[in-house]
Chains A and B, each alone.
Chain A
Amino acid sequence: MKESTTLPTHQSNPLLILQASQGWAALQLGEIWRYRELLGFLIWRDIKVRYKQTVLGVLWAILQPVMTMVIFSAFFGELAKVPSDGVPYYLFAYCGLVPWALFSGGLSRSVGSLVSNSNLIKKIYFPRLLIPISSVVGGVIDFALAFFVLIVLLILAGFFPTLNILWLPYFILLAIITALGVGLWLSAMNVQFRDVNYIIPFIVQSWLYITPIAYPSSLIHNEVLRALYSLNPMVGVVEGFRWALLGTQIDLGLTVFISSGVALFLLITGLFYFRRMERTFADVI
Chain B
Amino acid sequence: MSTALEVVNLSKEYRIGAKQNQFNTLRDSVMDVATAPFRRLGSLMRGEAYGAAELSESLWALRDVSFTVQQGDVVGIIGRNGAGKSTLLKILSQITEPTHGQVRLYGRVGSLLEVGTGFHPELTGRENIYLNGAILGMSRVDIQRKFDEIVDFSGVEKFLDTPVKHYSSGMGLRLGFAVAAHMEPDILIVDEVLAVGDAEFQKKCLGKMSDVAGEGRTVLFVSHNLQAVRMLCKYGICLEGGTVVQQGDVSSVVNSYLKAAQRFDNPVPLQGTSKKEIFLDALRLKSINAPDWGVVEMGDPILLEFKVVCRRPVTGLNLGFGLRSESGERLAVCYSAPRQTFDLSAGTHIIQAQFNQFNVTPGLYAVNGRLEAHGIELDWPIGDSYQFEVIPSEVLLGTPQECLINGKFFIQPDWKQVVSQQVSNEASL
- Which B47-70 residues have C-beta < 8 A from chain A? 47, 49-53, 67-70
Query: B112 to chain A: closest CB distance in Å?
Result: 9
Complex contacts, B3 vs chain A, CB 8 Å: 9-11
Which of B2, B105, B106 makes the CB contact (< 8 A) with A18? B105
Q: How far is the CA of A15 from the CA of B44 in the complex (A)?
A: 33
Please choose the segment from A227-235, A261-269, A272-280 that sits at the chain B interface, where 4 or more of its residues have CB less than 8 A away: A272-280
Decide yes or no whether A81 CB sits under 8 A from chain B.
no
Please choose the segment from A106-114, A121-129, A157-165, A201-209 that sits at the chain B interface, where 4 or more of its residues have CB less than 8 A away: A121-129
Complex contacts, A38 vs chain B, CB 8 Å: 134-135, 137
Known: A5-B70, A283-B14. A41 touches B49 (CB 8 A): no
Query: A103 to chain B: closest CB distance in Å?
Result: 25
Query: A198 to chain B: closest CB distance in Å?
Result: 13
Scoring B residues 91 to 127 as 1 if CB is less than 8 Å from chain A, else 0, what string do you get? 1111111111111111111010110011010110001
Scoring A residues 71 to 90 as 1 if CB is less than 8 Å from chain B, else 0, what string do you get? 00000000000000000000
Complex contacts, B139 vs chain A, CB 8 Å: 37
Complex contacts, A28 vs chain B, CB 8 Å: none
Which of A37, A41, A48, A125 makes the CB contact (< 8 A) with B93? A125
Q: How far is the CA of A123 from the CA of B112 in the complex (A)?
A: 8
Scoring A residues 42 to 54 as 1 if CB is less than 8 Å from chain B, else 0, what string do you get? 0001001100110
Which of A53, A193, A277 makes the CB contact (< 8 A) with B40? A193
Complex contacts, B75 vs chain A, CB 8 Å: 1
Complex contacts, A192 vs chain B, CB 8 Å: 44, 49-53
Known: A49-B123, A124-B113, A279-B97. A9 touches B68 (CB 8 A): yes
Complex contacts, A282 vs chain B, CB 8 Å: 90, 95-96
Residue of B nearest to A21 (CB): B97
Q: How many residues of A contact B (CB 8 A)?
A: 46
Q: How far is the CA of A125 from the CA of B92 in the complex (A)?
A: 10
Known: A1-B68, A1-B75, A120-B117. A17 touches B103 (CB 8 A): yes
Decide yes or no whether A20 CB sits under 8 A from chain B.
yes
Complex contacts, A49 vs chain B, CB 8 Å: 120, 122-123
Query: A250 to chain B: closest CB distance in Å?
Result: 38
Decide: B102 and A17 in contact? CB cutoff 8 A: yes
Which of A1, A5, A19, A276 makes the CB contact (< 8 A) with B248? A1
Decide: A3 and B97 in contact? CB cutoff 8 A: no
Decide yes or no whether A222 CB sits under 8 A from chain B.
no
Q: How far is the CA of A137 from the CA of B248 in the complex (A)?
A: 50
Decide: B94 and A125 in contact? CB cutoff 8 A: yes
Decide yes or no whether B390 CB sits under 8 A from chain A.
no
Q: How far is the CA of A126 from the CA of B6 in the complex (A)?
A: 21
Decide yes or no whether A225 CB sits under 8 A from chain B.
no
Q: How far is the CA of A42 from the CA of B90 in the complex (A)?
A: 22
Residue of A nearest to B50 (CB): A284
Complex contacts, B6 vs chain A, CB 8 Å: 9, 14
Query: B47 to chain A: closest CB distance in Å?
Result: 5
Decide yes or no whether B341 CB sits under 8 A from chain A.
no
Which of A4, A12, A189, A283 makes the CB contact (< 8 A) with B96? A283
Scoring B residues 122 to 148 as 1 if CB is less than 8 Å from chain A, else 0, what string do you get? 110001001100111101100000000
Which of A1, A193, A277, A284 makes the CB contact (< 8 A) with B70? A1
Which of A1, A2, A122, A283 makes the CB contact (< 8 A) with B49? A283
Which of B14, B95, B106 makes the CB contact (< 8 A) with A125? B95
Complex contacts, B137 vs chain A, CB 8 Å: 38, 126
Q: How far is the CA of A283 from the CA of B101 in the complex (A)?
A: 18
Known: A9-B6, A192-B44, A192-B49. A18 touches B118 (CB 8 A): no
Q: How far is the CA of A14 from the CA of B103 in the complex (A)?
A: 9
Residue of A nearest to B92 (CB): A18
Decide yes or no whether A55 CB sits under 8 A from chain B.
no
Scoring B residues 1 to 27 as 1 if CB is less than 8 Å from chain A, else 0, what string do you get? 111001000000010000000000000
Scoring A residues 118 to 142 as 1 if CB is less than 8 Å from chain B, else 0, what string do you get? 0111111110000000000000000
Decide yes or no whether B247 CB sits under 8 A from chain A.
yes
Query: B135 to chain A: closest CB distance in Å?
Result: 6
Scoring B residues 72 to 85 as 1 if CB is less than 8 Å from chain A, else 0, what string do you get? 01010000000000
Q: How far is the CA of A280 from the CA of B137 in the complex (A)?
A: 22
Complex contacts, B51 vs chain A, CB 8 Å: 192-193
Residue of A nearest to B141 (CB): A37
Decide yes or no whether B235 CB sits under 8 A from chain A.
yes
Complex contacts, B118 vs chain A, CB 8 Å: 119-120, 124
Decide yes or no whether A16 CB sits under 8 A from chain B.
yes
Residues of A within 8 A of B (CB): 1-7, 9-12, 14-21, 37-38, 41, 45, 48-49, 52-53, 119-126, 189, 192-194, 276-277, 279-280, 282-284
Minimum-distance CB pairs A-B, first 5: A280-B49, A14-B104, A125-B94, A18-B103, A41-B134
Residues of B within 8 A of A (CB): 1-3, 6, 14, 40, 44, 47, 49-53, 67-70, 73, 75, 90-109, 111, 113-114, 117-118, 120, 122-123, 127, 130-131, 134-137, 139-140, 235, 247-248
Interface CB pairs A-B, < 8 A, 26: A1-B70, A7-B1, A7-B2, A9-B2, A14-B106, A15-B108, A16-B94, A17-B105, A20-B99, A20-B100, A38-B134, A48-B127, A49-B122, A120-B117, A123-B95, A123-B113, A125-B93, A125-B95, A193-B51, A277-B49, A280-B50, A282-B90, A282-B96, A283-B14, A283-B49, A284-B49
Known pairs A11-B2, A192-B53 / 10 extra A-B pairs, C-beta < 8 Å: A1-B247, A14-B6, A16-B105, A18-B92, A18-B94, A19-B102, A119-B118, A124-B95, A124-B113, A193-B44
